[in-house]
Structure 1
Amino acid sequence: MAVINPPTSPRNVLSTEGRTLTLSQVSLTLNMAIGTISGIGFLAFLINGIQQTYWQFYALAGISLITFLFSLNSALKNARGEYSDRDLGWANGFFSILGISTALLIDGAGLLVAVTYVIIALSLTSTLGLFRSGTLSLFLGLTTASIAALAGALSPLPQVQSETMIVILITILAMVVMIFILLGITQFVSTTLQIRLVTAFLAVLIVPLTIATSALSQTAIATNREQIQQNMIDAAEEVALSLDRFFENNLKVIQQEAKADVFSRYFENLKAGKREELDTAEIRMIFRVLELRESSERVYLSSYALLNAGGYNVYDTVQANRGKYEGRRAYFLVPYTTGKPYISPITFNPDGTSYFSFSAPVFNNQNEVVGVLRATYNTLVLQRFVTNYAELGGPNTHVIVFDENLIRLADTYQPEMIFTTVTALTPQQRAELIIQKRIPDLPMIRPVYNADLARFLQTSELNNGAILEIEEGNEGNEAQEKPEIAGVAPMKTMPWKVVFFQAEFDETPIRKSHTRVATVIATLLAYVLGFVAVGVSNVLASPLKDLANIARRIAAGDLKARSEVRTSDEFGTLATVFNQMAEQLEKLVSELEERVAQRTAELERRNQALTYRTNQLNTIAQVARGIVSAQELTRFLENVTELISDRFGFYHVGIFLLDANREYAVLRAANSPGGKRMLARSHMLKVGETGIVGYVTSTGQPRIALDVGQDAVFFNNPDLPTTRSEMALPLKVGEEIIGALDVQSEVPNAFSPEDLSVFTTLADQVAIAIYNNQLYNETLRALAEAQQLHRQYLQQEWAKEVQTHRHRGFRYTVKGVEPIHESLDWKDIEYVYETGKPYIFTETLDDQTQRAVMAVPISIRGETIGVIRVQDQGEARVWSDNELQAVQDVAQQVGVALETARLFEKTVHRAERERRVLEITGKIRSTNDPQEMLQIAAAELQRVLGASKAQIFLLSEDGEDTSSHGNGSGSKNGNE
C-alpha cells in the first residue's frame, strides 16, 4: 500500500511547545487506543459466549478480532513512520461497525456506545484538525454515534442482557474519557472553536432532554408505584375484613348455638343427678348437625364440646377429650365469668398441632351461667382462608397474617415459615411464649425475614392501612433483584395484622419505554443539530483558522507572513490588527536581535568577571578550611601561595612575616622560581623603608603598584624581572601587624580596587591561621615542658621510694611472695626500662633447659617505674597476644595502684609531720618565757627526730652566735 502524505512533509509535521509532533505519532496513539478497546472487547465477548452460549457474543468477538488486527497493522506502520490515511480509515471503519453491532445485540449498550463514539469523534477531529480539516471525521463520528443509539433503542434483532458487558462498556467509556484527557494534557489534541461549538450545541440539546426524560420516567414510575401501593392496601384491608367476618360470624353462631334449650336442660339434669340416655342422644344429634353445617371452614372444625360449671368436659365430639378438666383455659374462664362469648388466641398442643376456639356461655332459665359451649378450629383454616385471596392484588402477589407477637399465622408465599417470627426472639421471650403455648416447643426455623418489616409492624399504629416498601437485599435472606411493595391492614376482631405483598416490582419496562422514545428523539435532533453546528462552526471558524495558520507560520520564523483581509466585519478588523501586529513584531524582532547581540557580549564579559570573582571566593573558602588544620605553618603558607597563583594566574605570590624585633619583613613562603631563590637567601625588607611590602607592614594599609606611576621603581627586582603589577596587603590580627601578602603579575594594571576587598579578606584569613599556629606551637611547647617536669618528678619520687624500702623487687613462687635483694641487671628488664615496651624472649639456663620469659613495663603517665617479669618452664611455650594483652592490662592497673599507694603514704607522712609540728607549736605556745620556748623546741625536736642532741643558735646584734642550753647527752655550749 502506498504511503499517503509522508511524515516528513510539512503537512504532517507540527511544532508545538518546543517539540515536533507528526501525524504518524498521532495516528499511532489513536490506533493503540482502538486496539486496546477492541482487544478488551474480544476477550470479554469470547468469555461471555463460552459461558452463556449466545451467538451474539461470538459474532461480536469476531468483529472485535478483525478490528484489533487492522488497528495493530496500522499501529505497526505508524511506529515505522509510515502514516497512511487508508490504514487509519480501515481501523476506524471496523471500530464503527463493532460499536453499532454491540448496540444492536447487547441490551442497554446503545447510549454507552453512542457517547463513546462522540468522544472519539471529538478526539479525532481535535487531533487531525492540527494538520488538516477534521470536519469529515466529525461527521462520521456523529453518524456512527447516532446509528448506534438508534440501533440500541430500535434493534430488530434479539438482544442479550448482560450486566458484565454493561460494566465493561462503562469501563471502556471511562478509558476513552481518560485517554481524551491524557491527549489533551500531552497536547496531542486541542479543543478548537469548532469542537467547542459542536459540544455546546449537543450539550444544549442532550442535557435538557436527558433531564426531562429522567423526570418523566420517575413520574411514571412513581405513579405506577403509588397505584400498586394502594392496591396492596386495598387487598390487605379486604383480607382483614374477610377474616373479621369469619371470626364475627363464628362468634355469633356459637353464641346462638349456646342458647339451645337442650344444653341448659342437660346441665340441669346433671346438676340434679339425672343423666338420661335421651338427653345424651339429643346432644349427640345436635353436635352432629352442627359439624355437618355447610361451610368451607367447617372442614377444619376439630371438635364441639360442653364444659360444665366446674370446667370439666362433659361431652365432646372427640371422645378422647371427654372428662378432661379445662377450667383454667381462657375460653372457659372468660365466658363463664363475664357471660359473654370469647375468641381464644392460637394455642399449641403438645403434639405440635395448633388451634383456636370460639366459646359462649350456656344460661339456664334463671339466666345463670351453667356451662360453656366450645367450638375448636385447627389453625390451618387461616392458611386455607388466605389462600383464596393470594391473587387478589394481581400477579406476583401474596399475603401474610401476623399475630401480636409478629408470628406468622398464614403465609401464601412461604407456607413452611408459618409459626415463625419475622424478628429473632430472645431466649426469655421464646420461653414465655412456649409456656403460654403460643408457639410450638420445637426447633425454630431461621426467623428473620425482613428487619424493616419487623420494625414497621412493631411501631406502626394502623387506621386505614399503611404502605411499606421493602428494598433490595433484605436482612436474613438473599438479596432480591427487585423490591417488594407491601400494604398493611389491621384486624378488628383479633390483634392481628394482614400484609399484602407485590413481589418483584419491576420499573425497568417503564424506564425502558421512556428511554427508548427519548433516545430516538435525542438522536435525531442531535444528528440534525450536529450537522448544523458543524456548518455554523466552519463558517465562524474559517477566518480564525486562517489567522491561526498565519500565527503558526510566524511562530515558525516566517515574519513576512500576512493575513488576507476579506471582510470589513470583526474578523476583517482582527486580520488588519493582526497584520499590524506582525509588522511591529518583525521590527521588534530585528531590534531585539541587535540588543541580544549586545547583551550577549555584555553577559560574556560579566560571566568572565563572575567566574573570576567565584574563583576568588572559592580560594578564600579553601584557605578558611585550611586554617582549621593548619598545624605546620611553613607547609600551610606554601599551599596558600600556590593556591592563589593557580586560581588567579599570578606568577608570583609571597608571604612575609615580621621578625622578633619587628624591624624586617622576612619572606617565609613563595611559589615562583624567583621567590624560591629569595627564600634560599633569607630575603627580607626593612619595615617602612623598602618596597610596598615595607610600606604595608609599617602602615597596615593595602597598596597597589602599577606599571606606571610613583611605585614603578619597586619593580627593579632581579629575581622577579617581569613584574608589571604588584599588590601588597597587611597580615593583621586585631590591630597588630604580623606580616604582608605580596602578589605580583606580569600583566600591567592587573589589579583593581575591587580586588582589594577580596584579597583583604584572604589576607585576614591567612593572618588568623598564622596566629593560631603560633598559639598552637606555644601550647605544644608548654605541654611538653609540663610532661617532662612531671616525668622528672616521678623519677625522683620513685627513686626515693626504692632507696627507702631497699627492695629491688618481689618474686612470686610456690612458697609465696618474697622480696628480691640480689642485683636485677637482666637484659630484658634493662630493655623494658629504656624503651618502655614489652619484651618476650626464650632464656637458656645453665642446665641447658629453656624457659619462656615475658617482661612488661609498669608505667605511670608514660614513665616506667617497674617491670612485671613472667617466666614459664615449658620448652614449647609461646606467649599469645591475648596473654600479652592480659599482662599489660594488669601492669597498667598495678602502676595505678602503686602510684595511688605512694601518694597515700606520702599524704600520711605529711599529715604526721604536720601533726607533730602542731603538737610542738602547741607546747611552745604554752609559755611566754622565750628561754623556755627555746628549750621546749630543742627538746621536742630531739624527741621527734630521735637525735642525740639538739641545739638552737641565736645571732646577736653584732653578728656573733649565742647558743642556748643544749639538751641530750652532749655538753652545754654557750649561754642561756
Structure 2
Amino acid sequence: MVTTLERQQVDDVLERQTNNVFKFGLLLTIVSTLVVIVTMAFQYATGKNHYPWVTAVGVVGGVIGMILARAKRPFFATMVMVISLFMIAAFYVLFIESLGTLMTIILLVISLGIIAQTVPQGRIGWSMAVFIVLGFILILVDRFLPREKTSLPSHSETIIVVAAIVTILAIAIIVFRQFSTFSLREKLISATLAVAIIAVLALAVGVNILTKNAITNEVGSNLRILSESQSLAIGEFLARKINTLEALSTNTIIIETAQAKNASYDNADASPSEQIAQVAAQWPQMTVDDDFVKDILEGDVAVELEQYQTLFPENTQLIVTDKYGGQIGATQHTQDYYKGDEAWWQSTYVKGFGQVYITPPTYNSENDTYSITIGVPIHGKKADKSGEIVGILKAEVSLNALSDLLFNARFGETGHIEIFLAGDRHLIVDDKGEISITDSPLNADAIAYIKTPEEPFIITDFDRTSQFLSSAFVNTLTHEPAVDRLGWIILGRQQSDEILAPVEQQQNINTILGFIAIVSAGVVAAYMGQRISQPISNLTHVALEVAEGNLDVQAPIETQDEIGILASSFNEMTGQLRESILTLEQRVQNRTQALATTVNVGQQLSTILDEEELITAVVNQVRESFDYYQVQIYLLDEDQETLILSAGTGQASKQMIADGHKLQIGQGLIGQAAATNIAAIVSDTTKAADWLPNPLSPDTKSETAVPIAIGDEILGVLDVQHNMVNGLKQEDADLLRSVANQVAVSLRNARLYKKTQQQAQREALLRNINEKITSTTNMETAMKVAVRELGSALGTKQTIVRLKQNHKNKGKNTPLT
C-alpha cells in the first residue's frame, strides 16, 4: 500500500521530470534555431550548401518535446527529442566528412543527460541501453564503412560543434543545480557517467594529440636525416665523377697534345681564333674519313678517352679542347668543332683561371637519358709556365646511376627523394625508375622553406595533397666547390595520410574502447547505484551509534567489494578503538616500568666510581633489565680515533675483548653513531646492506648503537643487539639514550675520581719526602734522604743525583749515590 508520503514523493519526482523536459525542449529549440539562422546566413553569403535543414530537425524535436511536457507526458517528450538528435547524428555519419563520430558522441552525451533527468527509474535503464547501442552502431558505420561524403564548410562545422558543446554545458548546469535533490543512487549514476565521459574524452583526445605529435616529430626528424644522408650521397656521387675526370686531366698524352696544339697556332700568320674559325667553317663538310677528323676521333687523345669511357661507361661523351676551344680529341663526332663559345667551356675556362663546372641536367634525345656536363680545366706541367691552363676536358655524364640512387631511397608507399634544381624545377624519379624534370608543384611558402630551412620539416600541400617535406643542400665531405655551387637541394617527402595512418587506426581503437568504457560505466552505475546505496546507509547508521559511544555495534558485511572492505575496516577500527581503550592503561604501565628501570639503572651507576666496574655493571644491568640479546660498551681511546670494546655480556663479548676488538670512527653502525653523535638503529639486519655482521653473534637480527657523550664530547658507544627482527625500535633507542647519558656522567665522574685520587697520592708522597728532607741537619744528609726516598717512591734499583759546581771544579759533576 502506497503511503501519503510515498505518493507525495512520486508526484514531486514527476513534477521535476516534467519541468526538466520542458527546459531541455526549450534549450534544444533555441540552440537549433540559432544554428539554422546562422548557417542559412552563411549559405546565402557564400553560395555553398550549409545544410541548415538538418539542424531544423532539432527545432521540430524541441517544440514537440515542450508540447508533450505540458501534456504531462515527459517520457514521450524525451523520446521525441532524443530521436531528433540521433537523426541529426545519422545525417552527419552518412553524408558529412569528418564530423560523424564527433557529432554522434556529443549528441549521445546530450541524449544521456536528458534521459537521466527526465525518464522514470523503471525505464531509464533500457532507454539508455537502446540509445547507447544505436550510437555505437553509428560510430562503427562512420569509422569502418567509408563512403563518399561531402565536406561541410568550415564555418558551419565550427558553429555546429560550438552549439553542441554549449548545449552540453547548459544541461550540465541544470543537472548541477538540481544535484542536491537527487537520491544517493541518482548521484552515483550521474557522477559515474560524468567522470567516465570526461575521462574517456580527455584520454582519447590526449592520446590522439600525443600520438600524432610523437609520430609527426619522429617521422619529420627521420625524413630530415634521410634528406641529409641522400644529399651527402648525391654530393659524393658528383664528387667522384669530378675526381676521376681530374685524374684524366693529368694524363701526360692529353697534356702534351694540348700543349703541342697550342704551340702550333704560333707558327701561322693568322691568329689562333682565325685559324680555329677556318677549321670550324670547314667542319660541317668534313666526314669521319677525313684525316683531321680521324686525328680527333682516333688519335692518341681519343684512345685515352675511350679507355676512360670503357672504365666509366656512364660518361656518354668525352671531349678535349685546347685552350682556345678547338677540339683535339673526342669519343664522338660532334656537330661543331669550336667549343669556346659554349657556356660550359667559358664557365670552365674562366678567362684562364679555370674551375670545375657542372651544368644543370638536360635531356639527351639521342640516347633518351638525362645527363649533366662536367667541365674540368687541363693544367700544363710546371715546366710549362707553372701549370697554365692548356685545355678543357668535357664529359657528359648520364644520370642513370643517380636515378638508381634516388629510386632506391624511396620509402613506404608515398615516400620520395627528389632534387630541387635552380629555377624552381624538380628532378623526379617515377615508379619505373625513370627521371623527369618538371616545374615545382610546391606553393611559395614551401619553396621559401626549401631555400632557407629553419625547421627540420614542414607539412605542406604538394601536388594537391598534404605531405611532410624536409630538405637539405647537396654537399660533400670535402666541400667540393663545384658541387656546392650547384645549389641543388634534396627533398624528402611523404604523404601525411600514410604517415598518420597509425594515428587514424589508434583513433578508431580509442573510439571503440571509449564507447565501450562509457557503456560499461553506465551499466555499472545503474546496477551499482542500488548495491552501493543500501550498504552505505547501513554503515552510516552504525557510525552514528559508534559516535554515541556504543563500541559493541558491528557493521553488517553484505558484499566483498570496496563497501564490504569499508565495513570490515570499520569493524576493525571499532575493535581497535575498543582494544586501545582497554589496553591504554597497560601500555602506560609498561612505559612507566621502563622509565623506572632506566632511573634505577642510573641510581645504581651513580654509586660506582671504578671505570671497569662501572661499564661492566652497565652492560649487565641493561641486559637483565630489558632482556636484550647482547649489550656492549665501546670506549674511545686517547687519540680519539679508535673505539675499543671494553665491556660486554655473553661469551662472544669476552672473546672479542680478549682479541682486542676495535673499530674506527665511522666504521659500521657503532662507528657511525660515534661519528655523528646520533643514535643509529637497524630494525632488520638482513635487509641492511651496510650492516657489519659478526660471526661470534650469529643470532643478531636488530641492533642499535647509542653514543655515550656529554654534549659534543664522545666518550664511547653503548651497543645493544636483539635476536628478533624489529626487536629494537626508536622508543628503545630513546630509552637507551637516557641510559647512555647517565653512563657518560658516571664515566666522567669515575675518571675524575681516579684522577683526583692519583693526584692526592702524589701530593702525600711529596709531603712525606719533604718532611724527611727538612728533618736533616746538613746538605749531604738531605741529599741522601732525597735520593733514597725518590728511589723508593719510583721503585728504582739505583738513584743518582749529580751536582754541578760553578767555581773551582767548573765543568765537572760530582755524583751522589
TM-score by length of structure 2 reads 0.46
Tell which structure's C-alpha radius of gyration is larger.
1
User: Whose relative contact order is higher, 1 or 2, with alpha carbons under 8 Å and at least 6 apart?
Assistant: 2
TM-score by length of structure 1 reads 0.40
More helix by share: 2
